[in-house]
Chains A and B, each alone.
Chain A
Amino acid sequence: MTAAAAGGPDAPAFVDFREVWLAYSAEAAAREEFAVEDITLSTRDGEFIAIVGPSGCGKSTFMKLATGLKRPTRGTVTVAGAPVTGPLKIMGMAFQAPTLLPWRTTLDNVLLPLEIVQPYRADFRQRRDEYAARARRLLATVGLQGYEDRFPWQLSGGMQQRASICRALIHEPRMLLLDEPFGALDAFTREELWNVLRDLWTAQRFNVILVTHDLREAVYLADTVYVMSRRPGRILERRPIDLPRPRDLDVTYTEAFSRIVHELRDRIGAIRRG
């Protein structure tokens, strides 16, 4: 199976899942117990997709497949035209827990990926000042100027999550994977961070896979929303969001927005009942 054959109707796919099945162990596979089943999906380069579904539906499994942390039991995963065979360095990840290192300052936390990923790793020591300047600029774009030398535990939850997103983006990945990144935040902070993410994406146009159970979040941010079923996870619906960009929070109060959210809500309600 070639990348060209896997391409969407108008452009070559960036992320391409073809009939992907994953069981966590050989025994589970033998018992036909899969975490995700028959996932087929492809995204354009620069597309922002969101995956929604009831909890425990295999959304996080999907993330592990896309990053190469897990290999599919059946089917193929292709990213940027190449089959995924191991962890992909063109990815940045952020989770619901900010997972910052408490013994490092915010700046040093953001710099951590550069100490690990090539090509930065090789010249990290010589060019540390340059990279630190880059990290400071990035932190400033998410509103964290002045907090670079604080420790994570001196920051609020929302600030920690901003720093965590900066850490995911510092090595300029082509793809950002977010696993319920705003799930632990209060409603106001969450909406603020939606806009932070929107602005970063608008400026840099990386690919995003956002896993969430907040339908408003998915509809507000994404180009396309995929609905997953309960375990074993399957993609039940692909819903392109045609709301015009740039979007701001006012759009979330429009009728068109509510209609889409309702539609998705009904779909997920049906899954939970079924």
Chain B
Amino acid sequence: MIRSRTFERLAPWLLLAAILLVWEVLCRVLSVSEFVLPTPSAIAGALVEFAGPILVNAWRTFWTTRVGFALSIVVGLVLGFVVGSSRLAYAAMYPLLTAFNSVPKAAVVPILVVWFGIGAGPAILTAFLISFFPIMVNVATGLATLEPELEDVLRVLGARRLDVLLKVGLPRSMPYFFASLKVAITLAFVGTTVSEMSASNEGIGQLLLSAGSQSRMPLAFAGLVVIGAMAMAMYELFSWIERHTTAWAHRGQQAH
């Protein structure tokens, strides 16, 4: 039992190691050019060799993403609360927000550049624009799916609409909220990177672009690895917060 548990925990690392090994072997056996697909060892080499610039740019991207994401949380929560708590607001705003969300965010970057110039501004806003939507939708869903019986129990007691929302609606929507954070943080990294690629002199996105244009493929891949690792780490962080703040919603998994 314990052994299979340990194995389960190690499984993703073993799979990763296996993939890297196959990748390395295939590249060497078929002598794939480094300009097409660098080997994992070459990527690791680039990571070490350019550790300094990678770190500076990664920190930049990380910082920008966090600011954009913080905006997302605030706006997503407020809009979700408004949309989920009033039928009229839902009817009025939801179609517009959906339409807005289906606009490709990469296409907005040039407009943001005109407004805010090259730099952190467009990147922060792109990260925000791409990631607030899932947060809003989830908070609104959590509020709107309140059991009518429960609402009756409270309304008979003279509860105001706000009482019901604060005592029941909001705590009830917290698992939805935390679940959306995990999705939204990875989207925020996408937004930042996309914006950096066309409208910044800094950040991993810009590093990817310049490495690509100079055909320094190991460096480009190193950039991808770093951004993937950052997004993954943030995902895990929010997943941990989710498990520890809304354990009641995850009792099924814990019981096993």
Report Cα–Cα, A20/B18, bound state, in Å.
75
Report Cα–Cα, A167/B150, bound state, in Å.
12
Residues of A within 8 A of B159 (CB): 116
Q: Is A101 within 8 A of B147, CB to CB? A: no
Report Cα–Cα, A171/B156, bound state, in Å.
12
Report Cα–Cα, A167/B174, bound state, in Å.
23
B246 on interface, CB distance cutoff 8 Å? yes
Q: Is B246 within 8 A of A103, CB to CB? A: yes
B163 on interface, CB distance cutoff 8 Å? yes
Q: B82 → chain A, closest Cβ, in Å?
A: 23
Q: Which of B147, B157, B171, B248 contacts A117 (CB 8 A)?
A: B157
Report Cα–Cα, A116/B163, bound state, in Å.
7
Q: Is A115 within 8 A of B152, CB to CB? A: no
Q: Is B156 within 8 A of A91, CB to CB? A: yes
Residues of B within 8 A of A94 (CB): 153
**Among B147, B152, B251, residue most surrounded by chain A Cβ atoms (within 10 Å):** B152
B161 on interface, CB distance cutoff 8 Å? no
B interface SS class: helix
Q: Is A151 within 8 A of B156, CB to CB? A: no
Residues of A within 8 A of B152 (CB): 64, 67, 69, 93
Q: Is A153 within 8 A of B157, CB to CB? A: no
In chain A, positions 68-110 with a C-beta closer than 8 Å to chain B are 68-69, 87-89, 91-95, 97, 99, 101-103
In chain B, positions 116-170 with a C-beta closer than 8 Å to chain A are 147, 149-150, 152-159, 163, 167-168
> What mask results when residues 120 to 159 of chain A are scored 1 for a CB within 8 Å of chain B, else 0?
0000000000000000000000000000000101000000
A112 on interface, CB distance cutoff 8 Å? yes
Q: Which of A97, A113, A151 contacts B157 (CB 8 A)?
A: A113
Residues of B within 8 A of A118 (CB): 158
B97 on interface, CB distance cutoff 8 Å? no
Report Cα–Cα, A118/B246, bound state, in Å.
30
Which partner residue on chain B sits nearest A117 by CB separation?
Answer: B157
Report Cα–Cα, A102/B171, bound state, in Å.
10
Report Cα–Cα, A96/B246, bound state, in Å.
26
Residues of B within 8 A of A93 (CB): 152-153, 156
> Number of contacting residues on A, CB 8 A?
28
Which partner residue on chain B sits nearest A179 by CB separation?
Answer: B149
Q: Is B158 within 8 A of A87, CB to CB? A: yes
Which partner residue on chain B sits nearest A120 by CB separation?
Answer: B157
Residues of A within 8 A of B174 (CB): 103
Q: Which of A69, A99, A112, A115 contacts B156 (CB 8 A)?
A: A69
Q: Is A116 within 8 A of B157, CB to CB? A: yes
Q: A127 → chain B, closest Cβ, in Å?
A: 18
> What mask results when residues 95 to 107 of chain B are scored 1 for a CB within 8 Å of chain A, else 0?
0000000000000
Q: Is A103 within 8 A of B156, CB to CB? A: no
Q: Is B251 within 8 A of A153, CB to CB? A: yes
Q: Is B158 within 8 A of A101, CB to CB? A: no
Report Cα–Cα, A40/B149, bound state, in Å.
26
Instruction: Take A116-B167, A153-B248 as given contacts and tell me if A99 and B158 are in contact as well, using a CB distance cutoff of 8 Å.
Output: no
Instruction: Take A67-B156, A87-B156 as given contacts and tell me if A151 and B167 are in contact as well, using a CB distance cutoff of 8 Å.
Output: no
B108 on interface, CB distance cutoff 8 Å? no
Q: Which of B150, B155, B163 contacts A69 (CB 8 A)?
A: B155
Which 4 A-B residue pairings sit nearest by Cβ, starting from the closest?
A117-B157, A102-B248, A99-B150, A95-B149
Binding site for A on B (CB under 8 A): 147, 149-150, 152-159, 163, 167-168, 171-172, 174, 246, 248-249, 251
Query: Could you list 11 examples of A-B contacts with CB < 8 Å?
Result: A64-B152, A67-B152, A67-B156, A89-B158, A99-B147, A99-B153, A101-B168, A112-B154, A113-B153, A116-B167, A153-B248
